[in-house]
Amino acid sequence: MATAHLTHEYPGELNDVPGWFWPLDHVLFSWFLERQERLDTRGDLLELGAYLGKSAILLGHRLRDGETLTVCDLFGAEPPDAANRAEAAKSYASLTRQAFERNYLAFHDTLPTIVQAPSSAVVDEVAPGSCRFVHIDASHLYEHVEGDIGAARELLGPDGIVVLDDFRSEHTPGVAVAAWEAVLNRGLRPVCLSSQKLYGTWGDPEPVREELLAALRGRDDIAVTVERAAGHRLVRTRARGKGLRPPSLPASRHPAPVPSIGAGRPEAAPVPGPAPQARPAARATRPSTGRDRARRLALDLLPPLVTRAVRRYRAAQRAKAGGAAGAVQSRP
Ligand SMILES: C[S@@+](CC[C@H](N)C(=O)[O-])C[C@H]1O[C@@H](n2cnc3c(N)ncnc32)[C@H](O)[C@@H]1O
């Protein structure tokens, strides 16, 4: 947990929000939530552990009329025990609720329901059986995760989806114990695994798993393997290279301005198009040249805001060049 940094800039896009929520999980969250929408599965969304809002912002993007997103986080409040206090001091020392709210409101009109308290409080705030999707990503200590899994079970409706973060990370053995204990002893059925997260249900996993397998097999950017363990079918998913096609992501109200490149005076910003979908495929298939490497190095040395703006500008230029023929057009 050492990669995220707090920032006082408004996020120009979801990937500008610091956090531990990776592109393959953007795809999987979106797929599960879109499927629920398709099947008209109603219910609220719940996140335990929101940090600066990266995953909460995506959850908010999938809310439908009449549904509620609740996030529960300490946001700097006193942790309930010494081990949790040490965890918070090490990884989330400068987190504030205000920073979360600022990020969230960069993408959405209204805040979610916020429970600023230990995650054990959530069962008093959310009605039993009212949720269709619960993301467990608060404390990564066994006692807490074990309790959070129990809460999710109580709060999820039939066929609801629970996601357990960091179920197999080297630094979070307590989550691994709680996750597999839930699978072996508490009736949780895995639907799929990503590098970081276990997606499961206390309902029937077969229909959703089969549909997911069919959807993933139609994609060349996600590798899937299936194996059996202790009577469970484990579907493992992995991003192939860096060219993962992103799902629809919420747009920021503060997109980074695109500066002119090479010219000494400001130019009109190009209109950003749907190019990011095409860009990873183009990158993955074109052999890298010395010029490419020099350009990447130059980008890496620029301040992050400028780098982002330059990347967006180039993507927009590529989209323009691709023209009406669409996304595949930018493959060489
Ligand atoms: C790994 S971060 C969440 C990351 C976030 N979901 C994302 O995708 O960027 C864990 C969060 O859990 C919160 N947290 C830690 N212990 C907690 C507890 N006992 N109850 C509620 N929240 C807790 C921390 O304040 C931190 O914001």
User: Quick check: CB of 73 below 6 Å from ligand 1?
Assistant: yes
Q: Is the minimum distance from the CB of 119 to ligand 1 under 6 angstroms?
A: yes
Over residues 243-255, the pLDDT tens digits come to: 899 999 999 999 9
Q: Looking at the structure, do residues 309 and 180 belong to the same domain, yes or no?
A: no
* Mean pLDDT taken over the chain: 82
Provide the residue range defining the domain that includes 36: 14-239
Domain end: 239, 273, 304, which one?
239
Q: Which amino acid is at 244?
A: L
The whole-number pLDDT of residue 325 equals 27
- Please indicate whether residue 36, judged by its CB atom, sits closer than 6 Å to ligand 1: no
In contact, 208 and 167? CB cutoff 8 Å: no
pLDDT of 112 strictly over 90: yes
The closest of 253, 252, 254, 258 to 271, measured between CA atoms, is 258
Q: Using the 3D structure, point to which of 207, 239, 271 is the last residue of a domain.
A: 239
* Across 139-143, 166-170, 255-259, 295-299, least confident range: 295-299
Average pLDDT over residues 18-36: 97
Q: What pLDDT score does 291 carry?
A: 38
296 falls in which pLDDT band (50, 70, 90)?
very low
Judge if the beta carbon of residue 72 lies within 6 A of ligand 1.
yes
Is the model's pLDDT at 273 over the cut of 70? no
Question: Are 322 and 182 in the same domain?
Answer: no
Structure confidence at residue 298 (pLDDT): 42
Assess whether 167 and 294 both reside in one domain. Answer: no
For residues 72 and 174, membership in a common domain is answered with yes
Residue ending a domain, among 222, 239, 256, is: 239
Structure-token match 């809460």, residue found: 151
Question: In angstroms, what is the span from residue 150 Cα to ligand 1's centroid?
Answer: 17
Domain co-membership, 175 together with 40: yes
Helices 142-155 and 173-185: angle between axes, nearest 10 degrees: 40
Q: Using the mean position of ligand 1's atoms as its centre, give its distance from the Cα of residue 48 in Å.
A: 7
pLDDT above 80 (res 280): no
* 124 — pLDDT class (breaks 50, 70, 90): very high
Q: Is residue 100 within 6 Å of ligand 1 at its C-beta?
A: no
Whether 58 has a pLDDT exceeding 70, the answer reads yes
Which percentage of the chain shows pLDDT scores above 90?
Answer: 73
State both tokens at 67. Answer: 């549904």
Q: Give me the sheet containing 156-165, strands edge to edge.
A: 113-116, 69-73, 44-48, 131-136, 156-165, 197-201, 189-193, 232-239, 222-229
Q: Which residues contact 73 (CB under 8 A, 6 or more apart)?
A: 48, 49, 50, 51, 95, 97, 100, 114, 115, 116, 138
Going by alpha carbons, the residue nearest to atom 6 of ligand 1 is 50
Are 163 and 305 found together in one domain?
A: no
Nearest Cα residue to atom 18 of ligand 1: 118
Residues 215 and 313 in one domain: no
Structure tokens at 110: 């209204």
Where does the pLDDT of residue 9 fall: very low under 50, low under 70, confident under 90, or very high at 90 and above? Answer: confident
Residue 255 lies in a domain: no
- The average pLDDT across 311-331 equals 36
Q: Which residues contact 67 (CB under 8 A, 6 or more apart)?
A: 42, 43, 44, 45
Q: Is residue 152 domain-shared with residue 215, that is, in the same domain?
A: yes
Instruction: Kindly state whether residue 252 falls inside one of the protein's structural domains.
Output: no
Predicted confidence (pLDDT) at residue 329 exceeds the cutoff of 50: no
pLDDT of amino acid 73? 98
187 and 47 both lie in a single domain: yes
Give the pair of three-digit tokens for residue 45: 């969304």
Contact 274, 281 (CB under 8 A): no
pLDDT band at 242 (very low <50, low <70, confident <90, very high): confident
CA 167, 57, 235, 162 dihedral sign is: positive
Q: Give domain status of residue 35, yes or no.
A: yes
**Are both 202 and 75 inside the same structural domain?**
yes
**251 domain residue, yes or no:** no
Q: How many domains does the chain have?
A: 2
CATH at residue 97: 3.40.50.150
Angstrom distance (rounded) from CA 54 to CA 61: 11
Q: Who wins on pLDDT, 290 or 32?
A: 32
Assigned domain for 229 exists:
yes
Q: Which pLDDT belongs to residue 315?
A: 45
Q: Residues 259, 261, 264, CA angle at the centre, nearest 5°?
A: 90
pLDDT at 303: 44
Letter for the amino acid at 104?
Y
Nearest atom within ligand 1 for CA of residue 88: 15
263 found inside a domain: no
Q: What is the mean pLDDT of residues 61-84?
A: 98
Orientation angle between helical segments 304-322 and 290-301, nearest 10 degrees:
140
**C-alpha–C-alpha distance, residues 199 and 187, integer Å:** 13
* Nearest of 195, 248, 202 to residue 223 by alpha carbon: 195
Co-location of 172 and 314 in the same domain: no
In a domain, 134, yes or no: yes
- Return the H-helix or E-strand segment holding 151: helix 142-155
Whether the CB of 95 sits within 6 Å of ligand 1: yes
Same structural domain, 101 and 170:
yes
Specify if 319 maps to a domain.
Answer: yes
Residue 184, CB half-sphere, CA atoms under 13 Å: how many?
Answer: 8
